[in-house]
Amino acid sequence: MKKVVVSGIRPTGDAHIGNYLGAIKYFVDLQNDDNECYYFVADLHALTTHPEPSILKKAVPEVVKTYLACGVDPKKAVLYVQSSAPAISELFMLLSNIAAVPLLQRCKVYQTQIKEEHKNDNFGLLGYPVLMAADILAHQANLVPVGEDQIPHLEMARDFAQAFNRRYKEVFVEPQAMLKKPIRIPGIDGKGKMSKSKGNTINLTDSYENIEKKLLVAPTDPKRARRNDPGTPNACPVIFEMHKLVSSKNQVKTINEECKRAGIGCRDCKKILIVNMEKMIKPIRERYKELETKPFIITEILAEGGEKAQKHIEKTIDAAANTMGIFRY
């Protein structure tokens, strides 16, 4: 039997190779593995941090364009915007009567956002795990791809499903986590993870010239000050790490050996990486550009996806509401 997979996408623009290798590629594999996939753009979740409305409005189609360009196929996966399936908001309302406030307050992610990131302490932020549970439980999801940091949220969704099923009757499937293999994508400045906020990214829409410009100045093993100095690839914070992600196994093996005996210079090593990076990004960049000329395609896909998602969840939400004593008149 097909497994139902649900996952949310944050509506942020300028996707980079970290987003692709760490998440989007995985979504494409899941859809191709004959699962029943529902991928949504989490516009309601985004409201918790008060994005500028015009920016949020623009970011939604942009993120969809990126996912389509990367290979998410609307014939294989349902792609929709969270707010276009309003039954999710209804389930959020129903589940909020199950969710214990102290449990939400103890949530580590919430605490970090309030205490360390000084985010606005609103109910949306506190109730984030309830809305996330609604996203998942509405579809009766079996599997939810998550990073380690999202496990507490998924456990809460399971808790709410169990609490509901215990208090009323068995309505919800308890979702299981599919732990994504963590992939470390270094920023081009060599100072930690690739991140849009640090401005150290290679974007999926970068031209060949941009990729070249960014990688040619990226730091390498500091011990290779001169061409003849032997290096330690594992001390090369950007280039060797990226080779491991985008170059062939043979190329990585050769670079590893040649770097150690100063058989290859850093510039030539970078050039090999630039070619491989371009090979990966070019088809994505070209599909993205093509989609930019056809905005109606995005509108159609999202309208159809919203309809399909709403249809898929209505039965479950009606069952949950009826079980709680709510009837439609």
Q: Which residue ranges make up the site for ligand SF4 (CB under 6 A)?
A: 220-221, 224, 231, 233, 236, 239-240, 255, 259, 264, 266, 269-270
172: Cβ contacts below 8 Å, ≥ 6 apart? 137, 140, 160, 161, 164, 165, 316, 320
Strand partners, 79: 39
Task: Select from 327, 326, 316, 328 the least CA-distant residue to 133.
Answer: 316
The secondary structure element, H or E, covering residue 176 is: strand 176-179
Structure tokens at 239: 């280039």
- Cβ-based nearer residue to ligand SF4, 74 or 231: 231
- Give the shortest CB-174-to-ligand SF4 separation in angstroms: 46
Q: Give least dist CB 221 to ligand SF4, A.
A: 4
Coil, helix or strand for 218? coil
Tokens at 172, concatenated: 């919800």
Give the integer Cα–Cα distance in Å for 304 and 312. Answer: 12
- Residue 63 or 255: which CB sits closer to ligand SF4? 255
User: Which residue, 13 or 219, is less far from ligand SF4 as judged by CB?
Assistant: 219
The amino acid sitting at 201 is: T
Q: Which is nearer to ligand SF4, 27 or 240 (CB)?
A: 240
User: Closest CB to ligand SF4 among 189 and 318?
Assistant: 189
Per DSSP, 225 falls in state: -
| Residue number with CB closer to ligand SF4 (71 or 233) | 233
- Type of residue found at 81: V
For the CB of residue 25, give the shortest distance to ligand SF4 in the complex, in Å: 24
Nearest-angstrom CA–CA distance, 142 and 148: 18
Query: How many Å from the N-terminal Cα to the C-terminal Cα in the chain?
Result: 36
At its nearest, how many Å lie between ligand SF4 and the CB of residue 204? 23
CB of 232 to ligand SF4, least distance (A): 8
